[in-house]
């Protein structure tokens, strides 16, 4: 995890914990411990994109180390909240996590974050907390991410451009459903093909007009065995359909050609691929 601690200046009044928890609740954090608990862990799960972050308010007693207290910085007081962004994730998930952090700072602007893996030095001394810099924080996450994955061969990798297209579609899918309710807007998912990850969408019903996501394959369910078809073949059969305004999707109307493709195309067997959740693949 890429961990951010928070501090406030000694000169001001301490931030009330209720204010911290309310700010986090307003951002959609779901706590797994009741209000009033000494330690309240929580999670943020973005319903649209699948981005995730871990939040800790308070400190679990088992983790307290009286012999090695947290680093103290002159003029600053620690605030009992941590935000952690997963390292085993796509680059854009870090972007979403840092946006969450920025919204938290906007709610409590007197707080200042400290990236545990990023130090700044002034005349040879750690300066401690400093104003948030999203680009610097993202670069720090990238360094930690690379170190976390070094030497590993068990993580499927999705092409960065395909990953960004998937991200955009997920973010804009709800707006597309409102703008074009006549189209079916499928979820954009990821499968693993060995060490390679591929983006996919399920195309179940050729009798319904489709908003085709910017994915590498479509999954076609069949009684005799489901399989995958490259999306380029679908686009060719559709006569290079128009782009939609939202999510880089394409407008696929119902047509005899698409129905024939759905029923008769030779598919890559689904058994070749493995299902992977967000957080089990990188880009």
Domains of the chain: 2-149 (3.30.1400), 157-282 (no CATH)
Instruction: Return all residues near 35 (Cβ < 8 A) that are at least 6 apart.
Output: 21
Residues of the chain scoring pLDDT < 50: 122-124
Q: How far is CA 70 from CA 3, 12, 115, in A?
A: 14, 20, 13
Give, in degrees to the nearest 5, the angle at Cα 190 between 163 and 86: 65
| Structural contact between residues 26 and 107, judged by C-beta atoms closer than 8 angstroms | yes
Q: 9-65 pLDDT, tens per residue?
A: 998 889 999 999 999 999 999 999 898 889 999 999 999 999 999 999 998 765 555
- Predicted local distance difference test score (pLDDT) of residue 78: 92
Rg (CA), the chain: 23
- For the record, the structure tokens of 172 come out as 């804009």
| Structural contact between residues 160 and 91, judged by C-beta atoms closer than 8 angstroms | yes
Q: Whose structure tokens read 């103290």?
A: 72
- Predicted local distance difference test score (pLDDT) of residue 67: 54
Instruction: Return all residues near 47 (Cβ < 8 A) that are at least 6 apart.
Output: none
Which residue from 250, 258, 244 is spatially nearest to 206, judged by alpha carbons? 258
Which residue from 138, 200, 192 is spatially nearest to 165, judged by alpha carbons? 200
| Structural contact between residues 164 and 199, judged by C-beta atoms closer than 8 angstroms | no
* DSSP one-letter code for 188: P
- Predicted local distance difference test score (pLDDT) of residue 172: 98
Share of the chain above pLDDT 70, in %: 93
- pTM for this prediction: 0.88
Give the CB-side neighbour count of residue 238, counting CA atoms within 13 A. Answer: 20
């Amino acid at each position: 995890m890429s961990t951010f601690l928070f501090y406030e200046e000694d000169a001001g009044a301490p931030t009330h914990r209720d204010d911290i928890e309310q700010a986090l609740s307003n951002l959609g954090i779901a706590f797994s411990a009741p209000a009033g608990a000494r330690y309240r862990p929580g999670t943020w799960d973005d319903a649209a994109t699948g981005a995730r972050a871990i939040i800790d308010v308070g400190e679990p007693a088992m983790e307290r180390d009286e012999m090695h207290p947290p680093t103290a910085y002159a003029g600053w007081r620690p605030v009992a909240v941590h935000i952690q962004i997963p390292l085993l994730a796509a680059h854009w998930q870090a972007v979403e996590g840092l946006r969450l952090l920025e919204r938290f700072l906007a709610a409590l602007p007197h707080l200042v974050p400290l990236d545990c893996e990023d130090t700044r030095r002034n005349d040879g001394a750690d300066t401690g907390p400093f104003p948030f810099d999203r680009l610097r924080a993202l670069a720090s996450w990238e360094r930690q991410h690379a170190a976390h994955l070094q030497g590993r061969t068990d993580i499927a990798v999705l092409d960065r451009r395909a990953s960004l297209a998937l991200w955009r579609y997920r973010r804009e899918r709800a707006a597309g459903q409102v703008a074009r309710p006549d189209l079916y807007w499928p979820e954009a998912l990821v499968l693993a093909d060995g060490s390679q990850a591929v983006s996919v969408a399920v195309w179940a019903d050729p009798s319904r007009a489709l908003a085709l996501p910017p994915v590498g394959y479509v999954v076609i369910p069949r009684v005799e065995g489901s399989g995958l078809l490259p999306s380029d073949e679908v686009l060719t059969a559709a006569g290079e359909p128009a782009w939609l305004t939202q999510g880089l999707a394409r407008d696929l109307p119902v047509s005899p050609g698409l129905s024939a493709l759905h029923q008769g195309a030779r598919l890559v067997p689904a058994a070749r691929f493995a299902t992977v959740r967000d957080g089990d693949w990188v880009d």
